[in-house]
């Protein structure tokens, strides 16, 4: 493999190292506090005011200014905007859609496909999964005028089966997490092939988390993080590519603008360039590099929690009971609502994982506790069952 | 971690208490026995208590029974009860002052208003620093309904006069600061522990038992009436559930009357007073324990239930709740929400099991050893 690589790609180009940015832009439609007494009488499940408030805030603090920084500084990135977020941005009319459009039109941004509803459908229902991915791909093409070539599953959930599904849907590239177990034998810093023959990139979690989690952590011994220091780390990280995959909300929402995150982002291209490193999209990097070694990943991985598996969603009995009930309602007369209820966040809020993960869960949890999230969701599903399902 | 008392060798702590199991085993008694059994591993303790009839047992600390002359039933050396409680408290404090041996005493540690008067007097007389622990205030015990002025005055004197105040929760600390204008900087919050050996017996299976438990005194403080209201709301939706009321107290007849009024007498079992020894069985045999307390400074029963593996629903005004994640909470008066929670817990095994097993792990972190280490830290800080 090494040999064919050099043969195909001799010269200076081959040795130039890249940074590949992938950002996930997503906001769930949260369900509102829904009481048992609402069952049978109230079919309005979604927390309109809260969703609007968060959508507006994130647009103003992150989507608009961060995308403007990318445009102004010529920063390339692959960007996945979930369908459920697109729906909300259209409703809010906050101006972020226009900035996204401009970014994709400029050629700097690569639109990435996922399940429209940011769901767990890949792990249980192929037909449903295909429907949701196709709907997302078509919607993205219609909105932004470009058809995604790269697929990324919800929260980078991946195994060999997911790669086969993506192959059936004619995607060229796919990405996932470089978990400790994977990178013990395979550097995340080169391109691989999935068992289904797609280009496969692995997230460099150490360097990604330095930005997304640790950037403003005063107790971190590397605080404060500047673009020059970070670029040194990238330069020292051996391999062809450093894959920096993270929530788009890192910029301005998780890390507020007061932390200097935007200045960091602005300064990064020049600092990387000084060290001979260029920023590329997933598709661009994959096109320029020869086919990689086949990497088989039979077990599920994801980028969530310390476990980097499915436990953030299906780790406890409440989550499994809720997920089973959701699945059982497939035959219904209101598929759009059923699909919106599939958004993985609603089950993620029920996670009771321990230690540092709990803080992450609490940060995102609009209900204050996994138990209230469970009760809320089950009541909504119960109403849905009675109202729209033959079951 | 606690590293010892160093140059306090040969010194001791004088504790002025009130209850001591097996003679009486209310929350204060359980606290006294467990906490000072731990501290006795590090330093000598003289514990002053009324000379109860049943006061016998082998203790790790030195027990000094104090005969009380007024307000008691039985004779001063074999007290059986306190027909005039306030009178007996005054008498007890006078007798403690008389019986007190100041030799080598480094700290005086008092527990609740029933011991403050002697503590204040002795501290002043012998120039010994005073620590008082607030297990509850008159505002909690009265549920803010006609609190007794004379008790409030003693509580205020105690916390103002003490060198350090230990509160059993931040909730209680805030009451002490608000009602008694106590300097918040001299208050330390130390949570009670729970002795898991009494309560854990194998793994709970979380199969449905259709049984909801109330365990505690039947007083307005504990919110027994709200429990009855909750029960009647639950039974309108699910008639299979049985409610057990374990405890006795002034609201007993009112709660029974409510059961009749709601027409739910066949679904409510009044068990009367349940001893500490029998309590584990009650927790074990219930799907959920409910405590809609109007004002509960800590709530030992919450930890007892959790350590048994039985999930709990508590009011937002239950102190220990501030330190617990794996419980359900509502305002004490919100019986709609209390009843909803019960119905959810009964309906979903996954909810019972997750709340119960994680609650058990969480409760096991509340040890008397930890409380003892923190208490000794308070002593050393003086």
Assess A321–B contact: CB distance below 8 Å, yes or no: yes
For the stretch B304-333, pLDDT in tens is 999 999 999 999 999 999 999 999 999 999
Using pLDDT thresholds of 50, 70 and 90, give the confidence band for residue B1: low
Same domain assignment for residues B213 and B292: yes
Q: Are B325 and A369 a contacting pair at CB < 8 A? A: yes
Q: What distance in Å separates the CA atoms of residue A134 and residue A170, rounded to the nearest whole number?
A: 11
Q: Is residue B229 part of a domain?
A: yes
Q: What distance in Å separates the CA atoms of residue B258 and residue B232, rounded to the nearest whole number?
A: 9
Same domain assignment for residues B214 and B150: no
Using pLDDT thresholds of 50, 70 and 90, give the confidence band for residue A50: very high
Q: Using DSSP bridges, classify how beta strands A192-193 and A199-203 pair: parallel, antiparallel or unpaired.
A: antiparallel
What ipTM goes with this model? 0.90
Closest CA of chain A from B244, distance in Å: 24
**pLDDT reading at A13 higher than 50:** no
Q: Using DSSP bridges, classify how beta strands B211-215 and B288-291 pair: parallel, antiparallel or unpaired.
A: parallel
Same domain assignment for residues B204 and B262: yes
Using pLDDT thresholds of 50, 70 and 90, give the confidence band for residue A1: very low
Which residue shows structure tokens 């007369």?
A333
User: What's the topology of domain A2-294?
Assistant: 7-stranded beta/alpha barrel (3.20.110)
Same domain assignment for residues B35 and B53: yes
For the stretch B93-141, pLDDT in tens is 999 999 999 999 999 999 999 999 999 999 999 999 999 999 999 999 9
Same domain assignment for residues B218 and B288: yes
Q: Is residue B223 part of a domain?
A: yes
**Chain A stretch 27-66, residues whose beta carbon is closer than 8 A to a beta carbon of chain B:** 35-37
Q: What distance in Å separates the CA atoms of residue A295 and residue A308, rounded to the nearest whole number?
A: 18
Q: What distance in Å separates the CA atoms of residue A200 and residue A190, rounded to the nearest whole number?
A: 9
Closest CA of chain B from A378, distance in Å: 9
Q: Are B354 and A320 a contacting pair at CB < 8 A? A: no
The predicted pLDDT at position B196 comes to: 86
Same domain assignment for residues B66 and B137: yes
Closest chain B CA to residue A318: B350
Same domain assignment for residues B40 and B171: yes
Q: Is residue B1 part of a domain?
A: no
Same domain assignment for residues B170 and B37: yes
The mean pLDDT of A136-162, rounded to a whole number, is 97
- CATH number of the CATH domain containing B264: 3.40.50.2000
For the stretch A215-243, pLDDT in tens is 999 999 999 999 999 999 999 999 999 99
The four Cα atoms A369, A371, A372, A378 give a dihedral, to 10 degrees, of: 140
Other CB atoms within 10 A of residue B8 CB: 18
The predicted pLDDT at position A3 comes to: 36
Q: What distance in Å separates the CA atoms of residue B247 and residue B238, rounded to the nearest whole number?
A: 25
The predicted pLDDT at position B179 comes to: 97
Closest chain B CA to residue A354: B358
The predicted pLDDT at position A391 comes to: 66
The mean pLDDT of A199-204, rounded to a whole number, is 98
Percentage of chain B with pLDDT > 70?
99
**pLDDT reading at A313 higher than 70:** yes
Name the more confident of A352 and B262. Answer: B262
**pLDDT reading at A55 higher than 70:** yes
Name the more confident of B196 and A156. Answer: A156
Same domain assignment for residues B219 and B158: no
Closest chain A CA to residue B355: A371
Q: Which strand ranges, in their side-by-side order, compose the sheet holding B105-111?
A: B62-66, B44-50, B12-16, B105-111, B130-134, B164-167, B187-189
Q: Is residue B63 part of a domain?
A: yes
Assess B358–A contact: CB distance below 8 Å, yes or no: yes
Q: Are A318 and B351 a contacting pair at CB < 8 A? A: yes
Q: Domain range spanning residue B184?
A: 6-193+367-380
**Which residues 6+ apart lie within 8 Å of A263 measured at CB?**
none
Closest CA of chain A from B178, distance in Å: 28
Same domain assignment for residues B180 and B224: no
**pLDDT reading at A328 higher than 50:** yes
Other CB atoms within 10 A of residue B58 CB: 5
Count of the separate structural domains present in chain B: 2
DSSP for residue A73: T
Percentage of chain A with pLDDT > 70?
93
pTM of the model: 0.92
Q: For all residues of chain A together, what is the average pLDDT?
A: 93
Q: Are B350 and A321 a contacting pair at CB < 8 A? A: yes
Q: Are B349 and A375 a contacting pair at CB < 8 A? A: no
The predicted pLDDT at position A139 comes to: 98
For the stretch B234-266, pLDDT in tens is 999 999 999 999 999 999 999 999 999 999 999
Same domain assignment for residues B155 and B202: no
Tell me how far CA of residue B133 lies from CA of B13, B16, B37, B116, B163, in angstroms.
14, 11, 17, 10, 11
Contact between B36 and B61 under an 8 Å Cβ cutoff? The reply is yes
Q: For all residues of chain B together, what is the average pLDDT?
A: 94
Of A37, A370, A378, the CB nearest to B348: A378
Give yes or no: A24 in active site. Answer: no
Same domain assignment for residues B132 and B171: yes
Q: Are B351 and A374 a contacting pair at CB < 8 A? A: yes
Under 8 Å CB pairs connecting chains A and B tally to 41
Q: What distance in Å separates the CA atoms of residue A83 and residue A26, rounded to the nearest whole number?
A: 8
B345: left (phi over 0), alpha (psi -120 to 50) or beta: alpha
For the stretch B220-239, pLDDT in tens is 999 999 999 999 999 999 99
Q: So where are chain A's domains?
A: 2-294, 312-388
């Amino acid at each position: 493999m090494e040999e064919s690589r050099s043969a195909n790609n001799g010269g200076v180009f081959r040795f130039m190292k890249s940074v590949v940015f992938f950002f996930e832009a997503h906001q769930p439609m949260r369900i509102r506090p829904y009481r048992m007494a609402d069952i049978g009488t109230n079919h309005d499940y979604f927390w309109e005011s809260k969703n609007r408030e968060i959508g507006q805030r994130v647009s103003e603090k992150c989507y608009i200014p961060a995308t403007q920084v990318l445009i102004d500084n010529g920063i390339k990135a692959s960007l996945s905007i979930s369908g459920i977020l697109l729906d909300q941005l259209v409703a809010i009319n906050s101006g972020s859609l226009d900035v996204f459009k401009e970014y994709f039109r400029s050629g700097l941004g690569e639109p990435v496909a996922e399940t429209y509803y940011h769901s767990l459908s890949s792990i249980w229902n192929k037909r449903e999964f295909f429907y949701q991915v196709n709907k997302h791909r078509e919607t993205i093409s219609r909105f932004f005028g470009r058809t995604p070539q790269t697929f990324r599953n919800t929260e980078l959930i991946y195994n060999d089966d997911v790669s086969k599904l993506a192959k059936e849907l004619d995607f060229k590239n796919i990405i996932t997490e470089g978990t400790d177990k994977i990178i013990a034998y395979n550097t995340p810093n080169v391109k691989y092939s999935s068992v289904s023959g797609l280009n496969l990139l692995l997230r460099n979690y150490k360097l990604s988390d330095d930005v997304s989690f640790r950037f403003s952590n005063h107790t971190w011994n590397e605080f404060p993080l500047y673009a020059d220091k970070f670029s040194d780390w990238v330069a020292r990280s051996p391999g062809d590519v450093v894959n920096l995959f993270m929530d788009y909300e890192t910029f301005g929402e998780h890390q507020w603008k007061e932390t200097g995150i935007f200045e960091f982002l602005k300064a990064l291209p020049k600092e990387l360039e000084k060290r001979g490193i260029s920023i590329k999209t997933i598709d661009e990097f994959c096109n320029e590099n020869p086919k990689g070694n086949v990497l088989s990943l039979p077990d599920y991985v994801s980028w969530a929690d310390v476990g980097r598996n499915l436990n953030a969603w299906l780790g406890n009995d409440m989550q499994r009971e809720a997920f089973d009930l959701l699945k059982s309602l497939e035959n219904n007369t209101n598929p759009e609502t059923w699909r919106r209820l599939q958004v993985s966040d609603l089950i993620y809020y029920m996670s009771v994982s321990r230690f540092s993960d709990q803080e992450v869960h609490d940060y995102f949890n609009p209900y204050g506790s996994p138990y209230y999230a469970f009760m809320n969701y089950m009541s909504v599903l119960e109403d849905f069952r009675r109202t729209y399902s033959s079951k | 971690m606690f590293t010892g008392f160093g140059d306090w060798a040969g010194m001791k702590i004088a504790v002025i208490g009130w209850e001591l199991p097996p003679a009486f085993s209310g929350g204060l008694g359980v606290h006294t026995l467990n906490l000072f059994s731990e501290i006795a591993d590090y330093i000598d303790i003289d514990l002053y208590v009324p000379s109860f009839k049943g006061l016998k047992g082998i203790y790790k600390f030195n027990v000094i029974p104090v005969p009380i002359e007024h307000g008691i039933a039985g004779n001063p050396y074999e007290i059986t009860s306190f027909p005039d409680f306030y009178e007996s408290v005054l008498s007890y404090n006078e007798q403690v002052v008389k019986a007190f041996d100041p030799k080598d005493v480094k700290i005086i540690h008092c527990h609740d208003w029933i011991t403050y008067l002697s503590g204040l007097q002795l501290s002043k007389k012998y120039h010994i620093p005073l620590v008082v622990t607030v297990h509850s205030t008159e505002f909690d015990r009265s549920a803010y309904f006609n609190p007794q002025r004379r008790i409030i005055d003693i509580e205020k004197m105690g916390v103002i006069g003490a060198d350090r105040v230990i509160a059993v929760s931040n909730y209680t600390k805030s009451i002490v600061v608000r009602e008694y204008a106590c300097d918040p900087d001299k208050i330390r919050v130390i949570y009670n522990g729970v002795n898991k050996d009494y309560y854990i017996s194998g793994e709970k299976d979380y199969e449905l038992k259709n049984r909801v438990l109330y365990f505690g005194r039947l007083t307005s403080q504990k919110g027994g009436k709200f429990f009855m209201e909750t029960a009647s709301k639950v039974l309108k939706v699910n008639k299979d559930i049985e409610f057990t009321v374990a405890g006795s107290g002034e609201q007993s007849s009112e709660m029974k009357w409510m059961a009749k009024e709601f027409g739910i007498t066949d679904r409510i079992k009044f068990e009367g007073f349940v001893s500490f020894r029998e309590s584990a069985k009650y927790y074990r045999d219930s799907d959920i324990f409910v405590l809609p307390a109007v004002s509960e400074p800590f709530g030992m029963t919450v930890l007892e239930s959790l350590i048994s593996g039985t999930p709990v629903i508590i009011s937002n005004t239950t102190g220990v709740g501030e330190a617990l994640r794996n419980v359900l909470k509502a305002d004490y008066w919100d019986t709609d929400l209390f009843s909803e929670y019960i119905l959810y817990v009964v309906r979903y095994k996954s909810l019972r099991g997750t709340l119960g097993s994680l609650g058990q792990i969480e409760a096991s972190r509340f040890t008397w050893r930890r409380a003892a280490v923190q208490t000794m830290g308070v002593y050393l800080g003086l």
